[in-house]
Structure 1
């Protein structure tokens, strides 16, 4: 249900990182690692399963919106996740 803005202690600008601000040009990342970076965490930070699900929900649209600035790496095996990196060409 919608809530009035007055019910919130703080309201902040909705700003997202640009790919070149977030990703190291020489590294490939999983969606989970990108999700952590978007939250200001280390890509290998330990987060609980519920938190990971929420932050990944934010990361997937970010990857889609920034697809023109990203590359995709073939997963090492069929059971491994995909990897994304900064397009440098």
Structure 2
């Protein structure tokens, strides 16, 4: 259900990192690692499953929005996620 803006103390602009600001150009990252980086966490940070689900809500649209600037690698095995990196 929508919430009135007046219920919030602060409404900063919705400003996300660019891929170049977030990712190292010689590395590939899973969506889970990107989710952590978007929140200023280490890509290997241990977080609770519920927190990870919330972070993915930010990471997936970020990947889609920045798709033209990213490359994707298929999972190397069936139990591994795909990986994303900066397009050259």
TM interval, short-chain normalised: over 0.9
Gaps of 5+ in 1: none
Match of 1:37 in 2: 37
- What secondary structure does 1:85 align onto? strand
RMSD of aligned alpha carbons: 1.0
Question: SS of 2:51's equivalent?
Answer: helix
How far has the Cα of 1:62 moved from its partner? 0.8
TM (normalized to structure 2)? 0.93
Unaligned runs of 5+ in 2: none
Deviation (angstroms), 1:30: 0.3
Partner Cα separation in structure 2 for residue 32 and residue 87 of structure 1: 19
Shift of 1:4: 1.9
Tell me what 1:81 maps to.
81
Q: Deviations over 1:10-53 (max 9, x none)?
A: 22111111111100001100000000111111111111000100
SS at structure 1 position matched to 2:68:
helix
Secondary structure of the corresponding residue to residue 3 of structure 2: coil
Residue 66 of structure 1 corresponds to 66
Aligned residue-pair number: 88
